[in-house]
Structure 1
Amino acid sequence: HFLIPTSYKGKFKRQPREFPTAYDLEIAKSEKEPLHVVATKAFHSPHDELSSVSVGDQFLVHHSQITEVLCEGIKKVVNVLACEKILKKSNEAALLPLYMEGGFVEVIHDKKQYQISELCAQFCLPFNVKVSVRDLFIEEDI
């Protein structure tokens, strides 16, 4: 992690973030831009009411909610993340338990180069970036 001064005049490209759990997706989602992720680890749900995940499945993350599941004949309340699973011709609703240990990588849809002030204004912190054009007024660039 690096601290970058807002006076830095270089340009950055956004880089995909990695998320180890569904809870991390909940924390990272924002109102500014939909969070689109690809699963990098499979998860088999023990409950019919919740979604299983295969490597390569793609999701748009929406919001957290609670839902009931049957566990050995007893109803239990579970915190879940409501998502859309992206299919070839359509999307389907998916509920991922927040406790789910999986793996997800963000899909970045733009190739735009941003100044640090633009990144801070348009996206929620934290985010991953790569210097694409260095600041020529600084001798030792970051």
Structure 2
Amino acid sequence: MGFDEEWAQLRDEAASRQETSMRLNQLPAEPGGGAGGGKGLVSTPTEKRAAANTIETVIVPDTKKATDWADEATAGAVGALKGWETAAGLKTVQTTWEKQVKTLTARLNREKGALRATVTTLTGVDVGRGQAIASIPSNLSKY
């Protein structure tokens, strides 16, 4: 399967998992609505770790492979068209492409780091709150 087909398949799979809805000027269907109330907004630390691992082990390496392939093909075209204005144009396109890939890779790495940091932070807060609550003396613990 080529890169374009695989990318299209991954995009389609991601789109099929998205919940799209809009609610204007009405009360929530169930009590307690508000931000974060939808079922599609919940994720677990395991899901966040899996997403971070996918970025690290699949998306970034595949992006590098695609970049290398495009760089080789463009470099070949630039060499074949040496002395033509088209070669200069392709070199400009290649430079722009490389900048965009660096930006994308940096963004993916930030997202990966944010996912992992969120797991650590939220788990730590959850454990800390649980310990704080457990440390409060209560007559209910007798039962």
TM-score (norm 1): 0.23
Higher Cα radius of gyration: 2
TM-score (norm 2): 0.23
* Bigger strand fraction: 1
* Bigger helix fraction: 2
User: Higher RCO, 1 or 2 (CA under 8 Å, sep at least 6)?
Assistant: 1
